[in-house]
């Protein structure tokens, strides 16, 4: 199953590469920027989490130790949290770099891109738009409007990607989608 998922990711990464090229005038992502990984709940399907686990297993012992410490700290913070949605720094982020980059999930692969969310009939932009980065030159925060010529017409929501025609070609079962920390708490 993971082999089929890995083959899907190779094709999906090609699609994303094309999207990043198409949106290059709006996207300012570069190595060392980790704003997308600083605050979120990081939805992962079961198969994505299984694949991420493979990446974790392959980490050198010192990085595994850091990730384990990060997870323990997050689990404790979540227990003390009283709000509705616990958002946090990704525990796999070490020195502003993803320690499991090749094994990252769909949400991580699509970070930085704007996309059309058909469930809410709106364009979703990355949070860094509010930090003067991606799409910020074309986004009016007061009115919430985006002024771009080319329409963003692909839906990059995790559930849509994992049920896309491309995913169906590889015939894998994605399983439940949950915040990453919920999967980590079960380990």
Give the pLDDT score at 151: 63
CB atoms within 10 A of CB 137: 13
Of 163, 118, 123, 127, give the one whose Cα is nearest residue 42. 127
The dihedral built from the CA positions of residue 67, 71, 74 and 80, taken in this order, carries a sign that is negative
Residue 116 pairs in a beta bridge with 123
Mean pLDDT of the residues in the chain: 93
Using one digit for the tens of pLDDT, what is the confidence trace for 22-81? 999 999 988 888 999 999 999 999 999 999 999 999 999 999 999 999 999 999 999 999
C-alpha distances out from residue 32 to 98, 109, 146, 171, Å: 10, 15, 26, 35
pLDDT at 187 over 70: no
Of 98, 125, 110, give the one whose Cα is nearest residue 17. 110
Q: Average pLDDT in the 152-175 region?
A: 93
Using one digit for the tens of pLDDT, what is the confidence trace for 133-157? 999 999 998 998 888 866 678 899 9
Q: Average pLDDT in the 160-174 region?
A: 95
Q: What percent of the chain has pLDDT over 90?
A: 82
Residue 177 pairs in a beta bridge with 45
Name the one residue in this structure whose structure tokens are 């979703």: 124
Give the pLDDT score at 4: 96
Give the pLDDT score at 177: 97
């Amino acid at each position: 199953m993971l082999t089929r998922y890995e083959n899907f990711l190779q094709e999906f990464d090609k699609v994303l590469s094309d999207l990043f090229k198409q949106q290059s005038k709006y996207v300012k992502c570069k190595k060392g920027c980790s704003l997308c990984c600083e605050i979120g709940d990081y939805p992962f399907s079961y198969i994505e989490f299984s694949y991420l686990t493979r990446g974790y297993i392959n980490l050198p012992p010192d990085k595994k130790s850091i990730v384990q410490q990060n997870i323990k700290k997050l689990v404790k913070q979540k227990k003390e949290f009283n709000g509705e949605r616990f958002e946090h720094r990704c525990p796999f982020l070490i020195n502003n770099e993803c320690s499991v980059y090749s094994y990252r999930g769909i949400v991580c692969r699509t970070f930085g891109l704007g996309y059309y969310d058909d469930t809410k009939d709106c364009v979703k932009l990355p949070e860094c738009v509010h930090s003067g980065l991606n799409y910020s030159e074309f986004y009016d925060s007061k009115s919430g409007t985006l002024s771009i010529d080319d329409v963003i017409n692909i839906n990059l929501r995790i559930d849509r990607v994992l049920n896309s025609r491309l995913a169906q070609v590889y015939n894998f079962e994605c399983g439940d989608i949950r915040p990453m920390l919920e999967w980590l708490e079960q380990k």
